[in-house]
Amino acid sequence: METTQIILPETRLNDPKVYIDLGNEAGKTGNMEASVKWYMKGLTLAKEIRDTQSINKLSALIALSL
């Protein structure tokens, strides 16, 4: 399986939605482990910034991925 490294501008790393997109992309290529890791990173950020909508969405995505 080919691994792709994605480099993002620092400002985009503060948006949990970016991690949702990265997790979705990893899932499309069949890399569920990477997908869950992206979702977990996004969930951690969402909790830090108290983004309840992203917390709920990322929690659901993680649960569905397991």
Provide φ and ψ at 49, rounded to 5°.
-95, 5
The domain in which residue 45 lies consists of 11-65
Span 2-43, pLDDT tens digits: 566 666 555 567 899 999 999 999 999 999 999 999 999 999
Q: How many structural domains is the chain composed of?
A: 1
In a domain, 53, yes or no: yes
| Helix, coil or strand: residue 15 | coil
Per-residue tokens: 12: 């985009």
Does residue 66 register a pLDDT over 70? yes
- C-alpha 24/C-alpha 42 separation (Å) is 12
In a domain, 26, yes or no: yes
Provide φ and ψ at 5, rounded to 5°.
-100, 130
